[in-house]
Amino acid sequence: MKKTMYFLAVFVSIVTFYGCASNAKAATNANDITVSQNLDERHFETNGAYSICPPKSWQLMEIGLKYPAIMGETKNSFTPNINFVNETVSGVSATDYIDAVIPMLETVMAEVELIHRASFTTNSNIRGECIIIQARLNEIKVRQTMYAFLNDSKQVIYTITCSAPLDGGEVYDAIFEESIKTFDWIQD
């Protein structure tokens, strides 16, 4: 789990940086945020052996991680995003993994509050865990939904983190869920 802590610290930093870095004109308030519940064509990520349908008009962007992020439209100086990381594990379920991640989040973020936790199943019947948190990293307040899925071999866990601004971030919950529901393994 030391490796998990390293990945988590790097990941949270990158997610927050890219979530907040923008020169785009900000909307006047959270009510100005409109989120389409339509999805774009399926993206096949061969480096990760998975596929997903990103939200309509969101862009894939290389951000220095193994997998590209999916970036939404910047509103209120924050760019909502979906990021993917994986980690080799042994004898760990998605539930065990999330159990370990929650206290680790508290070491890299402040004011961490668990809003929701549940099992989650994709449209292709991949079972995993999901949590929604709100937290602060430095002066940036975020709402994050994290999904954890073990691959078919049960040796690699994929964590998908969906980030939105804390203020009004709940409007992204449905689009994040709709997109993640399409997550699937690429079959050889």
Q: List the domain boundaries for the chain.
A: 2-27+40-185
Q: What is the pLDDT of residue 39?
A: 86
CATH superfamily, domain 2-27+40-185, is Mog1/PsbP, alpha/beta/alpha sandwich (3.40.1000.10)
| pLDDT at residue 12 tops 60 | no
DSSP 87: E
- Give the 3-state secondary structure percentages of the chain, helix then strand then coil, rounded to 5: 25, 35, 35
Per-residue DSSP letters for 113-151? EEEEEEEEE-TT--EEEEEEEEEEETTEEEEEEEEEEE-
The tens digit of pLDDT for each residue in 61-105 reads 999 889 999 999 998 789 999 999 999 999 999 999 999 999 999
* Whole-number Cα distances in Å, 45 to 69, 83, 126: 11, 12, 17
Cβ-Cβ contacts under 8 Å for 67 (sequence gap 6 or more): 45, 47, 48, 83, 84, 85, 86
Q: What is the pLDDT of residue 2?
A: 53
In this prediction the pTM is: 0.83
Q: Strand pairing partners for 134? A: 113, 143
Contacts 24+ apart (CB under 8 A), 63-67: 63/14, 63/18, 64/14, 65/11, 65/14
